[in-house]
Amino acid sequence: MTEIEQLKLQLQKQEKLASLGLLSAGIAHEIQNPLNFVINFSKMSGHLLADLIDIVDGYADSLTEDDREDLNEIVTGLKENLKQIEDNGERAVSIIQGILLVSRGKENEYVPTDVVHIVKEYVRLAYHAMRANHQGFNVTIREEYQDGLPLIKVIPQDLSRAILNVMNNACYAVWNKSQSNAGNYSPEIGISVAVQDNNLIIRIADNGEGMTDEVKKRLFDNFFTTKPIGEGTGLGMSITRDIIENKHKGKVDFTSTKNVGTTISFTIPFEI
């Protein structure tokens, strides 16, 4: 009866998460429209500023040296501000597109994808989600991406889920370890993406609490979690293995040492 009750709770959590996913997609769509206006109007304002500079330059001789210096400072400040608005607006759009990736696309549809872009976005989403939910959380993230990677056919919304699941676990592992290591522990997570022998290799390594032998045996079991009630569904790694091994015909490998850390690797074959 206890197992049945636990299963009911897990299913209820999954239903809430599914509803939250739909809500997030709707919010993301609504936010993206005004963001596009912000970006477009910042670009238009930049063009108008350039026209204004041309007009003012025609009257430069009638201005005092102090006025010219003040004008140049104002123009420089306006250009920098507009650039910041445009850059941060585009960054926000990029984040929203990453969120929408989870809900967009046909089921099991392979799409030529910039995998590095997906990894970068979901590494950051996991990091900021952890900071939002655990006060004082911080970690050094080291990223290594091979240059010149081709677009690779994957199911982007599924691959993003797999990355998010593993990154969430890595963040939790280093945070949990930091709670019992005061002052002498520096949390780190390493991310790498590379291609080797027509295989895409994504690796996420942490120096967190690591796994016991029992956890290693049950890592991919449905509803198995080491997190407290309310913080884990026990489905993340099971879903991740299904995404990588069944949908992408790849392989999930892991190594872990208690109190040293864990490394999870995805190896996905592809054709150029």
At residue 106, the 3 state secondary structure works out as coil
In 3D space, the residue among 179, 177, 183 whose CA is nearest the CA of residue 260 turns out to be 177
**pLDDT one-digit tens code per residue, 7-49:** 676 666 666 655 555 556 566 666 777 777 788 888 888 888 8
- Give how far Cα 93 sits from Cα of 86, 161, 262, Å: 11, 19, 32
137's tokens? 């959380």
Q: Determine the angle formed by the axes of helices 65-101 and 2-57, rounding to 10 degrees.
A: 150
In 3D space, the residue among 256, 266, 250 whose CA is nearest the CA of residue 218 turns out to be 256
CATH class of 107-269: alpha beta
Compute how many other C-beta atoms are within 10 angstroms of the C-beta atom of residue 208.
26
Q: What's the pLDDT at 207?
A: 94
**pLDDT one-digit tens code per residue, 134-154:** 888 889 999 999 999 999 999
In 3D space, the residue among 82, 101, 78, 80 whose CA is nearest the CA of residue 32 turns out to be 101
Report residue 166: phi and psi, to 5°: -70, -40
**pLDDT one-digit tens code per residue, 61-103:** 888 888 888 888 888 888 888 888 888 887 777 767 666 655 5
234, pLDDT greater than 60: no
84's tokens? 């910041």
Pair 267, 201: CB distance under 8 Å = yes
Kindly report whether the global pTM for this prediction surpasses the value 0.85.
no
Domain range list for the chain: 2-100, 107-269
